[in-house]
Structure 1
């Protein structure tokens, strides 16, 4: 008997599973609040050189406006130059409107004055991360995602060794401690280190919340659970815009989005350990305890006698047999190597595209908060739409189509004039929704591509490639200083290339899930009836077993 048969016996999608999903919604909502937090805490408000402490050496009693005229050049759009000032005071500019374009300038000597009408305080205003140092604001995002990437490797191992529930608690505590500590950092270096550790801790929440819900739900409802998890992300993303609008200080904002994890710690006591993990690690009695709890919660009855310790011990042996595979098995055989390379490119492209768009939310004529909210809200219909199309046109066409259309939207915005900001905003929002649809698809598609015996290792590897793409995305956006449209060109190219790569993968619609590596190496028949006959055989076999 397989573990899936036990889930069917005790109802694999009842009140017990729904309760687990609800309890894990709060930490899932927190994730996007931190992952996209840099859009607000690292915002660079309008600024100019501070000339208040400079001696005039000329006419006295100058007004503030006259002082700016004497010391600060004016750009073509009429705004003060943000990073330069005149090398010498230009008092002649008070008497006439002569052109100041050719006058010698130097970098700001006494700091900057910031426009605090939108943000009371950001990383840029706190440590003067502007002009020559403005790249450091985006670097904090990359540092955070490098922590997420390292955490994906570490927690993938810890999750299997020490259990899902214990590791989840450790993740909660790490994220709370380092999240709050980062709000009190008194230097940029310390803040970057603490953000790295915060990202590390949050990864454990991301991995364990998904694994726990998936391992307690039967096969037919896993897609639905994926939708619920995705919608929790979208809700958190929309809430971030509201939090940032109400809280204008970066330190307070970090504490605001971290605080809900305190509630998550309180609800942790009601979250069960994964019975599948307990069986795989020889903890039969504890697995039996949770399974009986699930059966009573779902059906109001105890676990049937045929599912007692002896049967669970047999499942334990079968589960342990599935534990003999490592990451090396991803590249040992030819078709597995091909699958590994293609899915790695695909995940890197999907993540890099999604975050490349999500972290670049200016330039469309809308304020920062509204743009972020619309970007988040468009994800909801995108998630619901893509799950309809997945069962109509298949996984491969959905994956390729969403990525190629995302690339086309980015390309269109490269050529649209900035004066058509409303058209550019619509195209950008459409591209954001498509990129989210691509992210939703890749989770399901990859799960169906990898065989059962190595599926977790495959998802761990693709998660690492995803985090790599996320870490690189903020660095790509910094290339706008080299050429304004260069980041868009790179993100567009990555989206199109990864979309074309997905066409090289096999279709999985209406095919049975591969169980072993041999199922990948040997061709499978693309036949629905074959799947149906096999399913019927499994049903009859399980029925006969039950009758005996």
Structure 2
């Protein structure tokens, strides 16, 4: 007997599962807040060199503030003062209209910087002067955080299978909360970077444990629904981040604010059940029966103990254990599995890298960063809804390839739109953001349908790892703007297009029977003529 048969007896999507989903989706709101927190805590407002040391008591005394800047700082082509250079001494001749300071010698800022905080509040960058030659430090914070997420995915994935989903979830809550709040009180960049790494490490456990718990308490037919709900919790958290960042101006308090829901999550953890499927795999039959009886009671179904005996659960235990005797090596042992593994890894890298390069680049469109971030997050709602219609209309493969190719097209178009046309640039960028989110949503469903049941969890773990690599690379790609302003956009566009073309090599899974074993992959796959598969995907 399969575990899904027992779930049907106690109801595979009743009040018990809905309550569990609610309890697990609430802390998931914290995940996008920390993933995209760098957009606000490292934002650098307009700045220029501090010229107070140039005034030796008379040189600038009789000049207006605008004239003092004019004789002390070189200017850009648009007439604004340069951010990272100054004249070694006041150039009073520049006050005459026929003088040109383009060829005058300059030096790096000697006495720090002056920041324009009239519009944007002080940030981590302004507090520790992470500008000019130290600008890359603030940008690498994103990579440091995502490296923590990547390491955490590997370790918490093991802990989740070794010690259970519920226990691992509590550890993740506590680790994330402790290190996130501690980072708000860091007194140096080095300490903050280490604490951000550890915060990412802890949050990865929340991502893994909540997803697995939700999936293992519902049957196959409801898993796509669960993925939609999980995606909506991400979008809600992403939208809330823009509002919280606007209201909470201090970057340290912002970190504490977006972490606060984890305190509620720790309290609600006491009502979260362990995965009965995992308990059976580990031979803890009586504990599995306890949670299944609780599920039946909440869903107003007869208790499992009155229908099934412990011997029946033990048979399920053996069946589940047999399905778990697979490892990551089985993803590359056979030719077709190797091909699927390689292609899906490339696609996931491209999806994640493209999504985060767009999400982390919210300046330069003429709107303030709060409004841009909110619009970027809000566009994900219709994107998630529309993509699920198209998935059943044109298929998974065309959706995966099409969303990536169109995302690359939006980035390509924006390369040629002048900076002055900020409204048009913003609209194209928002469209690209929605398409990149649609690509992410498609990837989750397509991957779960491509790989066979016996290695599906391993496959999702592998693609999660490749996506974390793409996420970690994204902040580094954006740093290439310092080399050439268009270089980052060209690279992101190329990645989206190439990975979109690679996605065409994946098999179509619309109305195709889900593979159960590796032999189903290596042999011909058959079309399922009944409506059960289609219904299970909706």
- TM-score with structure 1 length normalisation? 0.95
Match of 2:148 in 1: 147
Match of 1:14 in 2: 14
User: Quick one: distance in 1 between partners of 2:93 and 2:514?
Assistant: 79
Match of 1:161 in 2: 162
Q: How large is the Cα RMSD of the aligned pairs?
A: 1.5
Residue 517 (structure 1) shift: 0.8
Match of 1:190 in 2: 191
Deviates more, 1:290-299 or 1:320-329: 320-329
User: Quick one: distance in 2 between partners of 1:105 and 1:90?
Assistant: 11
User: Quick one: distance in 2 between partners of 1:304 and 1:58?
Assistant: 92
Structure 1 258/60 Cα, relative in aligned 2: closer, same or farther at 3 Å? closer
Residue 118 (structure 1) shift: 3.0
Q: What stretches of structure 1 of length at least 5 have no aligned partner?
A: 536-548
Residue 19 (structure 1) shift: 0.1
Match of 1:38 in 2: 38
Deviates more, 1:231-240 or 1:508-517: 508-517
Asked if the contact 2:30–2:261 (Cα under 8 Å) also holds between the matched residues in 1, the reply is yes
Structure 1 60/290 Cα, relative in aligned 2: closer, same or farther at 3 Å? closer
Match of 2:66 in 1: 65
Match of 2:314 in 1: 313
- Aligned residue for 1:24, secondary structure, equals helix
- Aligned residue for 2:192, secondary structure, equals helix
Match of 2:491 in 1: 490
User: Quick one: distance in 1 between partners of 2:95 and 2:405?
Assistant: 56
- Aligned residue for 2:393, secondary structure, equals coil
Deviates more, 1:363-372 or 1:158-167: 363-372
Deviations 1:199-229 (A, max 9, x none): 0000000111111011001221111111111
Residue 511 (structure 1) shift: 1.7
* Superposed counterparts of 1:125-524, under 5 Å: 125-303=126-304, 305-524=306-525
Deviates more, 1:478-487 or 1:235-244: 478-487
User: Quick one: distance in 2 between partners of 1:154 and 1:316?
Assistant: 25
Residue 509 (structure 1) shift: 1.2
Asked if the contact 2:54–2:89 (Cα under 8 Å) also holds between the matched residues in 1, the reply is no
User: Quick one: distance in 2 between partners of 1:297 and 1:531?
Assistant: 27
User: Quick one: distance in 1 between partners of 2:435 and 2:38?
Assistant: 22
Structure 1 531/334 Cα, relative in aligned 2: closer, same or farther at 3 Å? farther
Asked if the contact 1:168–1:208 (Cα under 8 Å) also holds between the matched residues in 2, the reply is yes
Asked if the contact 2:139–2:475 (Cα under 8 Å) also holds between the matched residues in 1, the reply is yes
Q: What stretches of structure 2 of length at least 5 have no aligned partner?
A: none
Residue 103 (structure 1) shift: 1.1
Asked if the contact 1:11–1:298 (Cα under 8 Å) also holds between the matched residues in 2, the reply is yes
- Aligned residue for 2:277, secondary structure, equals helix
Residue 419 (structure 1) shift: 2.1
- Aligned residue for 1:113, secondary structure, equals strand
Match of 2:24 in 1: 24
Structure 1 246/436 Cα, relative in aligned 2: closer, same or farther at 3 Å? same
Asked if the contact 1:512–1:531 (Cα under 8 Å) also holds between the matched residues in 2, the reply is no
Structure 1 530/212 Cα, relative in aligned 2: closer, same or farther at 3 Å? closer
Asked if the contact 2:60–2:68 (Cα under 8 Å) also holds between the matched residues in 1, the reply is no
Displaced runs of 4+ in structure 1, greater than 6 A? none
Deviations 1:36-85 (A, max 9, x none): 00000010110011112334365463343333233222223222211110
User: Quick one: distance in 2 between partners of 1:157 and 1:200?
Assistant: 13
Deviations 1:95-128 (A, max 9, x none): 5551111111100000001111233321210111
Residue 418 (structure 1) shift: 1.8
User: Quick one: distance in 2 between partners of 1:426 and 1:318?
Assistant: 52
Asked if the contact 1:83–1:108 (Cα under 8 Å) also holds between the matched residues in 2, the reply is yes
Structure 1 59/419 Cα, relative in aligned 2: closer, same or farther at 3 Å? closer
User: Quick one: distance in 1 between partners of 2:454 and 2:367?
Assistant: 49
Asked if the contact 2:11–2:301 (Cα under 8 Å) also holds between the matched residues in 1, the reply is no
Residue 138 (structure 1) shift: 1.0
- Aligned residue for 1:69, secondary structure, equals helix
Deviates more, 1:16-25 or 1:295-304: 295-304
Structure 1 301/526 Cα, relative in aligned 2: closer, same or farther at 3 Å? closer
- Aligned residue for 1:391, secondary structure, equals helix
Asked if the contact 1:48–1:83 (Cα under 8 Å) also holds between the matched residues in 2, the reply is yes
* Superposed counterparts of 1:68-79, under 5 Å: 68-79=69-80
Deviations 1:429-466 (A, max 9, x none): 01100000000010011011111111111111100000
- TM-score with structure 2 length normalisation? 0.97
Asked if the contact 2:215–2:226 (Cα under 8 Å) also holds between the matched residues in 1, the reply is yes
- Aligned residue for 1:117, secondary structure, equals coil
Asked if the contact 1:143–1:192 (Cα under 8 Å) also holds between the matched residues in 2, the reply is yes
- Aligned residue for 1:528, secondary structure, equals coil
User: Quick one: distance in 2 between partners of 1:418 and 1:343?
Assistant: 36
